[in-house]
Amino acid sequence: GSVRRSDGYRRNARSAYDAELVRVAYRASPTLGLRAQVGRSAYTYQIPGPLTDAMFAADPRAATRSRNWFRPAIWVPSLTATWAPAARTRVVAQTSAVLGRRNSVQVPGFATTPDLPDPATGAYGARQVDVDRFGSTTTELRVLHGYTLLGRPQTLAAGASLSANRMRRQGLGRGTTDTGYDLTLTGAFGRDLTFTSRAVAVYAEQAVQLTPRWAVVPGVRVERGATRMAGRLAYYDPADVPR
């Protein structure tokens, strides 16, 4: 694991990062190996906001925001089985995933639009909340086979893969008037879309070693996939939302 903390060059540019990796391997037999691992990384970044050229020239460390935050957190688990049924043949089966979220709460606007409290109430305005959720899985079976042709070693690789992806994007939510990292909503998301995709592929490659320093690798890959979108956009009539 690793941990990193930074105050940032600009004001209001703090960040905190941590990552971990756990791996377990097991030799089930002389020809079969199993491995499981999971990695995680996350960081929280305080966004100092945009600057105009004049602002940067006057003070490159200046900040126009103090309530903007960004936080992604990603998990990457995987399971792998490796089988060697013959001396020059190896079969690898692997299932992996990318799971996580990418969150932000901030005051949008240009550098010339300051984030100041209301003089009458002393309260700040509500911030915008955006949340993305990711879920992607891939399963692949790959075969590597080595043999000798015309006195030279050759390699054939073939396999198939199946992938499924899902992303839910929620944005333009009305958040709190607080200053810290807080995704609490005080109003519905203005954008709530879900994207899904599925794909299957088969492939084969043949590495032909013509000379000790020259190889030709012809290959073929056939893939079929589809992507769909569903959801709501507050600024579109439902019938007009592109699919």
pLDDT digits (tens, 9 = 90+) for 221-241: 999 999 998 888 888 877 777
Coil vs helix vs strand at 240: helix
| Cα–Cα distance, 124 to 3 (Å, whole number) | 33
Give the mean pLDDT of 94-122: 94
What does the block give as tokens for 87?
């001396």
Position 199 scores a pLDDT of 97
For the chain, give the percent of residues with pLDDT over 70.
Answer: 99
Coil vs helix vs strand at 72: strand
Residue 67, classified by CB atoms within 10 Å of its CB into exposed (0-12), middle (13-18) or buried (19+), is buried
* Buried-state track 147-183, b at ≥16 Cβ within 10 A, e below 16: eeeeeeeebebbbebebebebbbbbbbbbbeeeebeb
Give the mean pLDDT of 107-117: 92
Position 213 scores a pLDDT of 85
End-to-end CA, the chain: 42
pLDDT per residue as tens digits for the range 141-167: 999 998 887 777 888 999 999 999 999
Position 236 scores a pLDDT of 81
**pTM of the entire structure?**
0.83
